[in-house]
Amino acid sequence: MSNHDTTPASYSLRLAHLYPDLMNLYGDRGNIITLRQRCAARGITLTVVEIGIGDPFDTRCFDLIFMGGGQDREQQRIAQDLQAKGPAIRAAVADGTPALAVCGGYQLFCRSYQLGRGEELPGIGIFPARTLHGGEGTPRCIGNVEAEWDGGTLVGFENHGGRTYLDAGATPLARVRSGYGNNGDDGTEGAVTANAFGTYLHGSLLPKNPRFADHLLLLALRRKYGDAVTLTPLDDSLEQRAHASAAAAARRENARRRRGA
Ligand code: GLN
């Protein structure tokens, strides 16, 4: 390998974006834009391939997998197709491929999602957890979230009717400080299996959490190019301000809820 091959500029990643037309709530596509921008700033080539219903999905051709959120109706439309892609996605995750699934995508990356009317959508079982929707009268979990992650915090915006319950021994992504997270009861937010991350945080997530965006990129690059890969630091002052502002909003909303207002 020549020196040139080991410079960051020669790195390239391929990202599979699952169902971008159907699963894209509250700016989830912004996650892809952030990954693109953070790669471009470092001379890393990021190729994004959109994978829709009926499309073949050879996960071996990809370094990252992303799926955004969607309402129950969209989830019903894709559930069967996702089942067909499930074995390949499970194999990719078992092989260390980083994946990020948000809200409706997260729910379908778990074992199952029981809709309010009792119908159960099968998930692909990446995360050992299930989601229950209590039906029409059940209040939705809506608002800003701040959750402890890796010595800092993740922030984002949640809006979900389903409550996700992790199996005993499952690993949450983060611990809720303000907001609901998985279910509003046990303080957990999201889930982690190998390098796959599930979360309720839209917002979108990655623009306001640059450290988490880089975590995903670094996992993907190290898997492909080896553990010596490092990322050039970027000026994240704007992103940090967005992070702080979302965290402050989450705290304000939390205080208001506590007062019962
Ligand atoms: N339909 C799911 C729910 O309401 C997920 C919604 C979302 O992705 N925001 O629980």
Determine the pLDDT at residue 9: 59
Instruction: Report the distance separating Cα 20 and Cα 75, nearest Å.
Output: 12
Domain annotation covers residue 95: yes
Determine the pLDDT at residue 261: 64
Domain annotation covers residue 196: yes
The set of protein residues with a Cβ atom below 6 angstroms from ligand 1 is 25, 69-72, 75, 103-104, 107, 133, 159-162
Burial class (CB in 10 A: 0-12, 13-18, 19+), 197: buried
Is the CB of residue 78 less than 8 Å from the CB of residue 108?
yes
Q: Is the pLDDT of residue 191 over 80?
A: yes
Instruction: Report the distance separating Cα 207 and Cα 224, nearest Å.
Output: 24
202 is catalytic: yes
Cis peptide before 204 (omega within 30 of 0): yes
Domain annotation covers residue 256: yes
pLDDT tens digits, residue range 133-172? 999 889 999 999 999 999 999 999 999 999 999 999 999 9
Determine the pLDDT at residue 204: 87
CATH of the domain at 38: 3.40.50.880
Query: Catalytic pick from 17, 133, 202, 243?
Result: 202
Domain that holds residue 61: 12-260
Q: Which of 196, 55, 173 is nearest to 123 (CA)?
A: 196
129's enclosing H/E stretch is: strand 129-133
Instruction: Report the distance separating Cα 178 and Cα 175, nearest Å.
Output: 9
Domain annotation covers residue 195: yes
| Pocket residue to mutate for ligand 1, from 22, 66, 72, 202, most atoms within 8 A of Cβ | 72
Average pLDDT, the chain: 95
Contacts of 203 (CB under 8 A, 6+ apart): 26, 27, 30, 155, 156, 157, 246
Confidence of residue 27 (pLDDT cuts 50, 70, 90): confident
User: What residue type is assigned to position 258 of the chain?
Assistant: R
Instruction: Report the distance separating Cα 41 and Cα 35, nearest Å.
Output: 10
Instruction: State what percent of residues in the chain have pLDDT above 90.
Output: 90
Burial class (CB in 10 A: 0-12, 13-18, 19+), 196: buried
Determine the pLDDT at residue 3: 40
Domain annotation covers residue 1: no
Instruction: Report the distance separating Cα 123 and Cα 129, nearest Å.
Output: 10
Q: What is the atom index within ligand 1 of the atom nearest the CA of 133?
A: 10
Q: What is the atom index within ligand 1 of the atom nearest the CA of 162?
A: 10
Cα-to-centroid distance, 222 and ligand 1 (Å):
32
| Pocket residue to mutate for ligand 1, from 103, 164, 204, most atoms within 8 A of Cβ | 103
User: What residue type is assigned to position 214 of the chain?
Assistant: D
Q: Which residues pair with 14 in a beta bridge?
A: 47
Domain annotation covers residue 2: no
Widest distance between CA atoms in the chain: 64
Cα-to-centroid distance, 259 and ligand 1 (Å):
27
103 is catalytic: yes
Contacts of 224 (CB under 8 A, 6+ apart): 11, 13, 63
- Separation in Å, CA 150 to CA 119, 174, 212: 36, 8, 9
User: 135's torsion region: left (phi>0), alpha (psi -120 to 50) or beta?
Assistant: left
Domain annotation covers residue 3: no
Query: Catalytic pick from 39, 103, 110, 141?
Result: 103
Q: How many domains does one find in the chain?
A: 1
Is the CB of residue 99 less than 8 Å from the CB of residue 64?
yes
Domain annotation covers residue 109: yes
Confidence of residue 26 (pLDDT cuts 50, 70, 90): confident
